[in-house]
């Protein structure tokens, strides 16, 4: 068997070192310090060789799941989409604020696609005419563009990102829902292979359309979403669609607090009125509330244009009512049902009479004032306060809820005919003389997000710590001062000859850079190689290497003859 070429780190460019670690360094900072990526513009990043290797492995792993387990065909759609197509689907006005838009020399309007429902539906509508050509499953892995108002957290929320999107086309609802379930099962398998404890949470379909969707969340303190799950049953939902806990008891003299928000166009101030505390019905516990307990998703359901990213609404409001601006027009009071009967009756009167109004920013007497009682679906009271860990599960009789911050890595949507009907994607069915719109699904995975989230999930104080499936290199060999390059190559070929189920992800690198052994070991920890093999003191005297695995807490001497078997065993654990 021919020996594989030795992968040498001296031949790979990754500018590590030279950047000091901060006391509160996050994984994104470690990615920069280790030489995986560099920022080019706000919310945009260059992937350097190490980062590109990780991203490429994520892409190949996702593609394997699409190809092998769903039988999907890969396409590559243009990043440029015509605005006229989005107008035809009726979605342009809903997402206009997040689009990068431009015109060509003929003054035709285009946009950089943040997603491709319109394009893929139009493509299929022109090519597929018979039910015999369905089901159809098409996917791509490509760059997407979204003009995020506040890009943050590095790869976790950017303006340019890589995404896998799978589009499915079926003849009827039953077949489409079966496809949806199959995709969910494949997603579970995908995230399991990455060793990520992802939760599949029922979610809102938002502007995407359809009436069924799930988000795939990784619990993390850095997450921007809140996922609610039950300790006893399979109830798992995004906070946006969670069933509210039963309202507690609020005494008539309970103090009332106020939280203020503002709309994106800065014309409307939103006052949210809520109780300072309530006594829970099931436990009798007295729970105190602060502004951190406001459920912004519930408020946004009542005031859709609410800017949930603003923490200091009054500073924006002061500008909006200033004499030189005067863009403010409306004051909305949103009232939690617990305090509806206890608020002063003058809420409907002049806005200047509202308690707690900051007189320093001017008089709002000219504003139109509206009162918005919080009612949800079917007119039932809608709590404006968040669910807490320990609240009773609405699904089962004995369960208690767990609330976690989480970041979204993927999303599945059953779209129905949301796009196929307006864009003419229909097929002739034997049961109907008229063409019937195809039943569609859309299923995405954020490739860039997976890279950033995996780095965040496994990082520790020493550095990054990649799972075997997507590590830039599975194993690095570091020769000490008493080991020759030929010695290191001998170890390299011994490990690289390892074979077994799934071992195609194993690749080995030799750190032959002209640096000291302590420096290389520290850099290997920062980069996050799953396995480190050191040719140290025992190599020359006893032919043993030191095998290190930080995640499993392994650091032991191993005979060279036993090393391949050890690597094969650890590969399955990592």
Least confident of 14-18, 200-204, 495-499: 14-18
Query: Predicted confidence band at 502 (pLDDT cuts at 50, 70, 90)?
Result: low
Q: What is the pLDDT of residue 434?
A: 86
Which residue in 245, 246, 227, 247 sits closest to 235, CA to CA?
227
Query: Predicted confidence band at 379 (pLDDT cuts at 50, 70, 90)?
Result: low
Give the separation between CA 345 and CA 218, rounded to whole angstroms. Answer: 45
Instruction: Select, from the ranges 210-224, 329-343, 495-509, the one with the highest average predicted confidence (pLDDT).
Output: 210-224
Report whether pLDDT(362) > 50: no
Residues 6+ apart with CB under 8 A from 191: 198, 216, 409, 410
CA angle 389, 303, 245 (to 5 degrees): 25
Q: What is the DSSP letter of 302?
A: H
Strands 401-416 and 225-230: antiparallel
Q: What is the pLDDT of residue 378?
A: 54
- Read off the pLDDT of each residue in 36-61 and give the average, rounded to a whole number: 96
Classify each residue of 43-55 as buried b or exposed e, where b means 16 or more C-beta atoms within 10 Å of its C-beta.
bebebbebbebbb
Q: What is the pLDDT of residue 241?
A: 86
Q: What domains can be seen in the chain, in order of their start residue?
A: 49-79+113-240+402-455 (3.30.930.10), 256-379 (no CATH), 463-573 (3.40.50.800)
Q: What percent of the chain has pLDDT over 70?
A: 90
Q: What is the pLDDT of residue 300?
A: 86
Q: What mean pLDDT, rounded, does the chain reach?
A: 87
Query: Predicted confidence band at 298 (pLDDT cuts at 50, 70, 90)?
Result: confident
- Convert the pLDDT of each residue in 440-458 to its tens digit: 999 999 999 999 999 999 9
Give the separation between CA 188 and CA 197, rounded to whole angstroms. Answer: 10
Helix axes 173-193, 49-70, angle to 10 degrees: 140
Contact 470, 58 (CB under 8 A): yes
> Which residue, chain included where needed, has tokens 């052994």?
517
Q: Nearest 5°: phi and psi at 329?
A: -135, -30
Q: What is the DSSP letter of 201?
A: E
Q: What is the DSSP letter of 353?
A: G
Query: Predicted confidence band at 505 (pLDDT cuts at 50, 70, 90)?
Result: low
DSSP 221-274: TT-SEEEEEESSS--EEEGGGPPPPPP-B--TT--EEEEEEEBTTS-EEEEEEE
- Read off the pLDDT of each residue in 106-112 and give the average, rounded to a whole number: 96
- Cis amide bond preceding 189, omega within 30: no
Give the separation between CA 459 and CA 466, rounded to whole angstroms. Answer: 8
Top-confidence residue, 120 or 247? 120
Which residue in 518, 515, 516, 547 sits closest to 534, CA to CA?
547
Helix (H) or strand (E) holding 319: helix 313-320
Predicted TM-score (pTM) of the model is 0.89
């Amino acid at each position: 068997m021919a020996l594989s070429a030795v992968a040498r780190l001296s031949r790979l460019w990754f500018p590590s070192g030279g950047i000091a670690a901060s006391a509160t360094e996050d994984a994104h900072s470690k990615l920069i310090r280790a030489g995986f990526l560099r920022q080019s513009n706000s919310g945009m990043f260059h992937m350097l060789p190490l980062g590109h290797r990780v991203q490429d492995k994520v892409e190949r792993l996702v593609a394997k799941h699409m190809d092998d387990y769903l039988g999907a065909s890969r396409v590559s759609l243009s990043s440029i989409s015509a605005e006229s197509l989005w107008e035809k689907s009726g979605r342009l006005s809903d997402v206009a604020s997040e689009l990068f838009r431009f015109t060509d020399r003929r003054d035709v309007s285009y946009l950089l696609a943040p997603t491709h429902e319109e394009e893929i539906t139009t493509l299929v509508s022109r090519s597929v005419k018979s039910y015999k050509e369905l089901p159809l499953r098409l996917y791509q892995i490509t760059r997407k563009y979204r003009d995020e108002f506040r890009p943050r957290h590095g790869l976790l929320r950017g303006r340019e990102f890589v995404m896998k999107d799978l589009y499915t086309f079926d003849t009827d609802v039953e077949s489409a829902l079966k496809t949806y379930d199959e995709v969910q099962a494949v997603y579970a398998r995908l995230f399991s292979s990455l060793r990520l404890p992802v939760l599949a949470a029922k979610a809102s379909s938002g502007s995407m359309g359809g009436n069924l969707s799930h988000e795939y969340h990784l619990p993390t303190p850095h997450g921007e979403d809140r996922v609610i799950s039950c300790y006893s049953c399979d109830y798992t939902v995004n906070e946006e669609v969670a069933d509210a806990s039963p309202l507690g008891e609020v005494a008539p003299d309970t103090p009332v607090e106020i939280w203020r928000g503002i709309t994106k166009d800065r014309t409307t101030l939103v006052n949210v009125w809520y109780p300072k505390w309530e006594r829970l019905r099931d436990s009798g516990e007295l729970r105190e509330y602060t502004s951190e307990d406001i459920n912004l998703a519930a408020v946004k359901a009542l005031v859709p244009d609410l800017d949930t990213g603003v923490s200091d609404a009054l500073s924006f409001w002061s500008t909006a009512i200033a004499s030189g601006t005067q863009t403010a027009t409306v004051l909305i009071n949103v009232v939690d049902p617990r305090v509806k009967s206890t608020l002063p009756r003058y809420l409907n009167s002049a806005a200047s009479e509202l308690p707690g109004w900051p007189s320093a920013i001017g008089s709002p007497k000219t504003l139109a004032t509206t009162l918005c009682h919080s009612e949800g679906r079917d007119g039932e009271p809608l709590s404006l306060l968040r669910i807490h860990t320990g609240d009773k599960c609405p699904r089962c009789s004995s369960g208690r809820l767990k609330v976690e911050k989480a970041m979204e890595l993927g999303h599945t949507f059953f779209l129905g005919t949301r796009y196929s009907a307006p864009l003419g994607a229909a097929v002739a069915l034997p049961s109907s003389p008229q063409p019937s719109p195809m039943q569609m699904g859309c299923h995405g995975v954020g490739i860039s997000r997976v890279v950033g989230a995996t780095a965040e999930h496994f990082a520790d104080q020493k550095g990054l710590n990649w799972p075997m499936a997507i590590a830039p290199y599975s194993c690095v060999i570091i020769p000490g001062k008493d080991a020759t390059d030929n010695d290191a190559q001998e170890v390299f070929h011994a490990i690289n000859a390892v074979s077994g189920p799934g071992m195609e992800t194993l690749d080995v690198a030799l750190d032959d850079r002209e640096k000291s052994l302590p420096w290389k070991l520290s850099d290997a920890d920062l980069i996050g190689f799953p396995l480190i093999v050191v040719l140290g003191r025992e190599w020359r005297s006893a032919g043993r290497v030191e095998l290190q695995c930080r995640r499993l807490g392994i650091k032991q001497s191993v005979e060279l003859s036993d090393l391949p078997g050890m690597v094969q065993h650890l590969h399955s654990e990592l």
